[in-house]
Amino acid sequence: MQSLQQQATTRSGVKQEDAFAIEKVNLYQRLGRDPFVKLSTNFYNRVYEDEQQWFRSIFANFPKEEAIQNQYEFFIQRMGGPPWYSQRKGHPALIGRHAPFAITEQAAVRWLEHMQAAIDSTPEIDPDSRKLILNFLKHTAYFLVAGKEIMNRRNGAV
């Protein structure tokens, strides 16, 4: 049985060392706060207006402004900045926090499409930083899918 990290690598095509290369450079020091705010704003603007209702509806119960803040504070914390996310909300525990949602492979693909488009429309983030961020996000998206599948099996769901 492959570990969740191994499954994330197999399914995303992103090696673990590339996914966690964000830990070797401090992207918060490089970019500062604003590009992360812009990235999450661009991302959620797309998500909340997604023409695909099945995807848009996953987020329907959450105020957009809060979702934006949750995401950019998490990104900043994970990429070398201040721990604003954990100060406000505690441990990120991403698998647990995504447990209520349908984190399928199809959802990961759509989420990543929006993230790719959002990062492409955030010129404040330079190409090298884009690559580092996207590798981490791709790997993590499939890590969440694999985590969800394990929880579904444990709960006896198909």
The residue ranges that bind ligand HEM (CB under 6 A) are 58-59, 62, 66-67, 70-71, 74, 89, 92, 94, 97-98, 101, 103, 107-108, 111, 137, 140-141, 144
CA torsion through residues 88, 40, 66, 107, sign: negative
Least separation in angstroms between residue 158's CB and ligand HEM is 19
Least separation in angstroms between residue 8's CB and ligand HEM is 10
Amino acid, res. 21? A
- Hey, is 140 helix, strand or coil? helix
Least separation in angstroms between residue 136's CB and ligand HEM is 7
- Is the CB of 34 or the CB of 54 nearer to ligand HEM? 54
Two tokens at 110?
A: 């759509």
* Of 5, 7, 12, 1, residue with least CA distance to 108: 12
- Is the CB of 97 or the CB of 130 nearer to ligand HEM? 97
- Is the CB of 36 or the CB of 74 nearer to ligand HEM? 74
Q: Hey, what long-range contacts does 148-151 have (CB within 8 A, 24 or more apart)?
A: 148/95, 148/98, 148/99, 148/103, 148/104, 150/4, 151/95, 151/99
- Is the CB of 25 or the CB of 105 nearer to ligand HEM? 105
